[in-house]
Amino acid sequence: MESSEILANVEKTAAWIKKRAAGFKPHTAIIAGSGLGNSLPQLADKVSIPYADIPGFPRTTVKGHAGELVFGRLGGHDVVMMRGRFHYYEGRPLNFIAFPIRVLAALGVRNLLLTAAVGSLKPSIKPGDMVLLKDHINLMGSNPLMGNYDPAFGEMFPDMNEPYDKALRREAVALAKKFKVRAVEGVYAAVTGPSYETPAEVRMYRMMGGDIAGMSVVPETITARQLKIRVAGLCWVSNFTSGISKTALSHEEVLELGAKVSDKMRALLEGLLKSKVI
């Protein structure tokens, strides 16, 4: 696809959304991960748009992802939330993951709060804990910026020295203490999925410096940083990874625990939206 066509598709989708969500100028976006549909902050004046209605947005195929774009207001800010994300393991090209992030940027988004379910690579990081991202390791074997560049999206070779914004992370740490949420800072090891990791892979990821493993977040972060969007990664630990866990892993357990931690995630998200760093 030519760069002019890529940009045209982004602008077409953004223009369509602006008409459906007239009056909203979101400066901050939230992407809700598996099991976190109920973590949606209490927004005023909500407008919901199913992905199936949005040009260029396919339906989500993962259980626990509602598949809708929600606009609203909180703390004096217009906010847009993706209730469900798109994944490499669903069979889409990795560079497609860049599309919704670029659409968000075209809507005016400058802050991106990413949430996700992750597996712990360490016994000290337990299911139910929150992990606030300070860095990541891309083990997906590709990059979302490949083959779909346009100068309008930023530099072809974006700097990744600080993928996750320090000010947002410091505020999230302070909020976790305030709300008595057990949280640590950590490094996200991004893998393709959809199979869970083997015990040998878990040992390797841990030796490489990973604290948690997951199948999303990183392509969205890379795309956002090219666009100069500030990113905060707020992950919740749904399970121990293989070799640490004594039981077989299942997505159903992820969804069950997600329902229990949604209140914690909502408190952190609402706290960030009302803070001075946004």
pLDDT tens-place string over residues 13-44: 999 999 999 999 999 999 987 666 667 788 99
CA-CA distance, 155 to 103, in Å (whole number)? 17
Of 216, 238, 242, 262, the active-site residue reads: 216
Active site (annotated) includes residue 27: no
Active site (annotated) includes residue 11: no
Band of the pLDDT at 262, cuts 50, 70, 90? confident
**Domains of the chain by range and CATH?**
3-274 (3.40.50.1580)
Of 77, 251, 259, 275, the active-site residue reads: 251
Active site (annotated) includes residue 77: no
Of 89, 143, 245, 253, the active-site residue reads: 89
Active site (annotated) includes residue 1: no
Query: pTM score, two decimals?
Result: 0.93
Give residue 63's pLDDT. 55
Active site (annotated) includes residue 87: yes
Active site (annotated) includes residue 38: no
Count of C-beta atoms within a 10 Å radius of residue 156: 10
Backbone angles phi, psi at 187, to 5 degrees: -110, 130
CA-CA distance, 238 to 32, in Å (whole number)? 14
Q: Single out the residue of 225, 223, 197, 222 nearest to residue 210, CA to CA.
A: 197
Q: Decide the pairing of beta strands 77-83 and 183-190.
A: unpaired
CA-CA distance, 118 to 41, in Å (whole number)? 21
Of 87, 105, 196, 238, the active-site residue reads: 87
Active site (annotated) includes residue 34: yes
Encode pLDDT of 141-189 as tens digits. Answer: 999 999 999 999 999 999 999 999 999 999 999 999 999 999 999 999 9
Of 14, 32, 39, 65, the active-site residue reads: 65
Contact by Cβ (8 Å): 274, 74: yes
